[in-house]
Structures are given as structure tokens and as C-alpha cells.
Structure 1
Amino acid sequence: MNVSVAMATYNGEKYIRQQIDSILSQLGDEDELVISDNHSKDNTVSIINEYVSGDPRVKLFLQDEKGVTPNFENAIKHTKNEIIFLSDQDDIWKPEKVETVKTYYKKHPAVLMIMSDITVVDNNLQPTIDSFYDYRGSRAGVMKNIIKNSYIGCAMSFRKELKDKILPIPRNAPMHDMWIGLVADMNKGALLIPEKLIYYRRHESTVTTVENTSSFREKIMWRFQISGLLLQSYIKHK
């Protein structure tokens, strides 16, 4: 069961070495780390290229279209292996993450997407939220996650078979991780596991957040949008 890691980067020079090192230490020779960069203006690409030149498992692709969703889509599109993990540029994976998740896939052959719990930490890796699940009330389910999304991409992985169902990621979907989680739910293939497998670092430049800061109007609009998109996806892949 080979693994691809899809990472999206942009101006991540401060923490990216720690994250890449925490990932590569868990990957086998046939695994890969696929990075899509949104034309970073700092030394992010130079740092990544150091890894590319020294490790054939690391692959870099540039993405012209701006935004988190297109950047992750580009990384996912270039993956080749059976299990695809999503990764932010500034977290740290716990050493047991990959093997723990692979064990669950082996035990649950019908599962398409697995999300673990995470520990939210500050710049110095000091915990600020012990359990994302407890904080967001995370659980699987289409209606539950349309009403209140509890999916977070950095803790997600999915089988290669799900790629055809989630790509291309609609640009009017609220976020890529909500879309992936809900498509997995629509196919009765989402599993949330209790292990906390990531230190999710929050700092002044963090793009994603654990809170939903959208206005009430935005939340209502997004619920209608995502419901329509899911219906279209269901009809397309039925």
C-alpha cells in the first residue's frame, strides 16, 4: 500500500523543513511527496528544491492559479499512489501517522477517506487545543457537515479511487477539505479515527483556521452552494 503526500505551499520558508522532515521519515522508497507551490516570494521553492535534488521521492510543481484550493488540486492531480495524504506546509506529523492510517485502510477496505484528530499548537509547539474533534464536534455525515463543517484537510487522507469523484474541485465550494469530506460521505466512505496524529501549528501567517469566521449570510449561501454541487457530483458519478 504505497503512499502519496499532496502538500500545498506558499511563502512557507519558516517551518517547511520541519514538516518535510517529519513526513519523509515515514515514507518508503516507493512513496512520494508531491508539492504544489503558488509561486512563493520567499525561499520556499529553494528549500524544496534542496530536497528534490537529494531525494527522488520529492516532486515539485508550480501552480499559477492563486488560492489554497487550486494549489491543493494541483498537488492531488500529480499524485500516483494508492493512498493520498493531504499536508499543510507548517505542521508536524507525529511519527506514527502514516502507519496508523494505513492500518485502518487495511482493516476497512470500503473506506474511501480517513481523517484523524489533531492537536492544535502555537509557534513553539505548545498545545492550545488538545482535540480538534472536541473543539469542532467532529463526526462524519453529509447533513452534519453541511450544517457545521468539521473536516480539516491537514488530517485527511483518501484512496486513489476518490480522485475521480473530487476532481476538479469546484471553485465555489467553501474549501477543498469540506468538499473532499462531503464527497466521501456521499459515497458512504468517510471514517474519523480517534488518534491525534498531527501537531497543527497556528501562527500569524496561517491560511486555514480551526474556527469558522464567516458571516451568517455567507454560511447560508455556502450551504446552498455545497448542496447543489454535491447533487451534481452524485448525478455525474451515479
Structure 2
Amino acid sequence: MPPSLIHLDPGPQPHAASHHDLVWAFSGWACREGCRLHAADLRVGDARFPAHTGAIRLDAETAQLRHGLAPAVLDCGFWGVAVLPAGGSWHSLQPVMLLEWSDGTWEEWPARAFAGPGPSPGAIVDTSADRKPAEDIPLVAIAMATYQPDPPLFQAQIASIRNQTHGRWICLIEDDGSDDAHWAVITAAIAGDERFLARRNTTNLGFYHNFERALTRVPAEAAFVALADQDDRWAPEKLSVLVGVLAGRPDAMLAFSNMTVVDRNGRLLSETFWPGLDSRHDSLDALLMANVVTGCACLFRASLLQLALPFPALGRLAYHDHWIACCATVAGGIAYEPRSLAGYVQHGGNSLGYRRRPGLRLASRIAACLLLSPAIALAGQLAMVRRRLAQPLKLLVSLPDTELVCRTAFAETLRRRATLDDDGRRAVSTFAPGPRIGLRLLAALLRPDRRGKAFRGVAARLFTGRVIAHLMSLLARLRPLPAARRSVTGERGHAG
């Protein structure tokens, strides 16, 4: 049998929680000379979770060519969602990927092992049941995630937190494995102020899971939680205004404000981060598709952590603020404060930069890509085109699949943890695990109810990506596979 290559996308070990089912999104790619991947399942004990197969993985080409597999097989990707019940004994089992090839043979590969149950350093611990009543001045716990912070920007952010008019807060800094020089910048900036509590991870988790770890440190006496980036600047009244917004809206679980956009020197680039706020924030259907809640501009009730933690087990391209906003929507609702209470600093190191919303121009580009999808898919079969247009193809084809994995995991987690109304059930049904997700995206896009331009823009972009990927996969399958060569290096190998 010719050698197989398999790549499982990286991520931290899925961690068991005693009070919630574990929702684990898994993905990767697999190929073997002379065969196509026919099916892929994740097996945990007796439970099996089928994966979508045939996903286009442009990132697989380099590894395949390095291992002598030419021409590269691009439709070799798979992704799926596993759901494991709370309190089960599955955490002691070794997950296994089962691969079925087009020649009828099967292979088994070990997947990422589970983290052990129960508390451990940095593990997820639910403290919501022990939360104490807030005092007259409620405590705000600020969860800040850092990694290799820019010294002047970090110092400015720390100063803006110290200048808050709300008098009772603590700042929980979770550093994601910065080097010693940057860790020294962090400790020097907060030296002598006991309200700042910093901790450094031994391994890099990515900002999604780093924020998750920071949130596990929120003390029981905290009434509210704010999220802080390492390089923004808060208005002095930010916390006090948002606390007041939630005090006036006892039904709402989260409040967020507008922001200005500034450069690293504080020069104003835009009066608003959300020109027109063109998407609804009071509907899970709209918010799950297109998030408008920016983490550094929000404040939420600490009791929301009971629903939000642990985060769905995802890779590095999920967003913590998107997940928390979805939880807040189903738990009670979201309030919006139109005043700008923070300055979003636009610079080259941002995880997600600000861009002006181009409106009709964006819509016209998406429509053009959809109309040209057969030509794009055909051109994508050529290695020269893939090399020259690597970034556009990644945005058109690879990124939509990654976003669908995240939204599917969010939807499945909410379905299992929360009581959903009709809007919520409709939202999660769009991203339910299973086939025909492209048709469900199209149905959501064509529904006549108002959910904002951002919703329709994201839905159109995801649908266009699915169409192009499907056409690329069909064209790839029309091309005959090269005959398998006799292996002299062994049966199997990890590609990464």
C-alpha cells in the first residue's frame, strides 16, 4: 500500500468540563497516492462522528510535493464536530481518526488526546455557582490577553485602565508565552499596583484560548467582566458608562460601545468603528453569521461565564468576542452604547485590523466572484495560478471553510447549553452539522427579513466560497489520479 499523509489542524487539548458537554471541532487533510479520501470519522470509544470530506486545502500542496506526491491532490480536506457528554468517562480514551479511501481500504490515526478531567493549572474551572452578591460599587474584572506587546502601546493601555472613573476593578493579565524581554515590559508597567495580576503561559495557545484562560480567573465576587486588548486606549468613563447601561437594562447580559479608530500616535483615523452599525446585535440569527461586538468595547455580567465557559474546542482562527456575544444574545440580550468609549489602535500587529466598510463595492465584488466562480475554479487547477494568486484563493476558498467550522461549533454548543427561541433555532439550523450547508447558506441569504448588510455580505461570501470550492473539487475529480508507486520509505507519515 502506498504511503499516506495526514495533517490534523493544531489546537490545544480538548478539556473535559463537569457541567457542559464538550463540543470539539476537528479538521485536517489526508491524501494517498493513487486514491482519494472517501470518508473520515472521528472515533471516541464506541462513538463515531462523521466529517465533511472533499474540502479544498490549498495549504496541503507544499507538503504533498515535499513528499513526492505530484500532481497535488487539493480536495483532500475534512472537518467535523464531535459532541461528548458531560461527566462521561471518554476523557480517558484516545481519539482516533478513521480514514476510508476510494479503493475500499481503511486506516486509523491517533488524534489529539484529551486533557484530564478536574482542576489543573490553567484548566477550566466553573465558579459561577459560588458568585457572591456585589457590593455597592460592583467589582469589574478586566481580562487582558497579551503576547509580545508593543511597549509604548501597552504602557498607554495600562495608563488608560488606571485612569478609569469606575473605582473598583482588577485586571487579570494572561500572557501567551511572550519572551523574557516582553514579559519584563509587562511586569514593569504594572509594578507596584496590586490591582494587576499577571500570569505567563508556558505554551502559546492563540488569543481565543488565551482569553478563555484569563476568564477562568474571574473571582467569585466580580459582578461584571470587561475584555481588554494589549494595545487599545480606553476613555476614562468607559467602565462606568457600560456598568450604567447594564444597570438600566436588567434584561441585557452584555453592553458594547462604539470606538474611534486611531493610529499608534493617537491621530484620529475614523470617528466610528461601526459606520452605520449595519447588522443587528439583538438577533442570534444575525450575530452568529456576522459579529458586530468587539471584545475591547464590551462589558458583560459575570454570570454569563456559566454559559460561555468552557469555550467550544476550536483552533486558532476562532474569535472569543464572537462566542461571548452569541452567548449573551441567547442569555438575555445585548445593549449598544453609540458613544465611542475606546480608541482602536490601527497598526501592523493587530490580530484583526479595522477596515472601512465598502458597502456596494464589496457586494459587487462578491457578485462578480460568484458569476466568475467556474473560471476561478478552472484557473485554480493550475499550479502556476495557485502560486501567483495564493492569497486571493485563500480568502475565497480556504477561509470560508474555516469560518464555517467555527460557526458550526458555536451553533452546536448553543443548541446544547441554552434554551433557544425561534430566532435561535433558525440560527443554529443554518450551521447544523451535516450535508448541504451550502444550500442552507443560500436559503439564509435569500430570506426576506431584515438582518443588515453585514449579515448578507458574510452569507454571500461564505456561499461563494462553497460554490468555488465545490467546482474546484468536481474539476479535480475529473482529472485521473497518477498510478500509485511502490513505497520504499514506509506506510504512513505525518505531514504536520
- Report the counterpart of residue 174 of structure 1 in structure 2: 318
User: In the aligned structure 2, how far is the partner of 1:102 from the partner of 1:157?
Assistant: 7
- Report the counterpart of residue 162 of structure 1 in structure 2: 304
- Report the counterpart of residue 43 of structure 1 in structure 2: 181
Residues 129 and 135 in structure 1, CA contact (< 8 A), matched pair in contact too:
no
Q: CA deviation at 1:46?
A: 1.6
| Percentage of pairs with the same residue | 26
Give the alignment's TM-score, normalised by structure 1. Answer: 0.89
Residue of structure 1 aligned with 2:195, choices 39, 57, 73:
57
Residues 166 and 237 in structure 2, CA contact (< 8 A), matched pair in contact too:
no
CA RMSD in angstroms comes to 2.4
- Report the counterpart of residue 10 of structure 1 in structure 2: 147
Query: Which 5+ residue runs of structure 2 have no aligned equivalent?
Result: 1-137, 358-391, 420-496
Residue of structure 2 aligned with 1:100, choices 241, 244, 249:
241
Q: Does 1:131 align with 2:311?
A: no
Structure 2 counterpart SS, 1:90: coil
Q: How many residues align?
A: 238
User: In the aligned structure 2, how far is the partner of 1:72 from the partner of 1:192?
Assistant: 22
Larger Rg: 2
- Report the counterpart of residue 87 of structure 1 in structure 2: 228
Structure 2 counterpart SS, 1:132: coil
Deviations 1:84-132 (A, max 9, x none): 1001111110111111111111111221111110111111111222211
Q: Which moved more, 1:77-86 or 1:204-213?
A: 204-213
Q: CA deviation at 1:68?
A: 0.7
Structure 2 counterpart SS, 1:131: coil
Structure 2 counterpart SS, 1:14: helix
Residues 164 and 235 in structure 2, CA contact (< 8 A), matched pair in contact too:
no
Residues 30 and 57 in structure 1, CA contact (< 8 A), matched pair in contact too:
no
Residues 323 and 410 in structure 2, CA contact (< 8 A), matched pair in contact too:
no
User: In the aligned structure 2, how far is the partner of 1:35 from the partner of 1:46?
Assistant: 13
User: In the aligned structure 2, how far is the partner of 1:68 from the partner of 1:224?
Assistant: 17
Residue of structure 2 aligned with 1:74, choices 204, 209, 213:
213
Residues 183 and 230 in structure 1, CA contact (< 8 A), matched pair in contact too:
no
Which amino acid letter does the alignment assign opposite residue 233 of structure 1?
A: L
Q: CA deviation at 1:7?
A: 0.6
Query: Which 5+ residue runs of structure 1 have no aligned equivalent?
Result: none
Structure 2 counterpart SS, 1:179: helix
User: In the aligned structure 2, how far is the partner of 1:107 from the partner of 1:144?
Assistant: 24
Higher relative contact order (CA closer than 8 Å, sequence separation 6+): 1
Q: Does 1:236 align with 2:417?
A: yes
Residues 289 and 407 in structure 2, CA contact (< 8 A), matched pair in contact too:
no
Residue of structure 1 aligned with 2:403, choices 199, 222, 225:
222
User: In the aligned structure 2, how far is the partner of 1:175 from the partner of 1:205?
Assistant: 16
Distance 1:225 1:15, change over 3 A: closer
User: In the aligned structure 2, how far is the partner of 1:184 from the partner of 1:40?
Assistant: 31
Residues 34 and 78 in structure 1, CA contact (< 8 A), matched pair in contact too:
yes
Distance 1:148 1:30, change over 3 A: closer
Q: CA deviation at 1:65?
A: 3.7
Q: CA deviation at 1:235?
A: 2.1
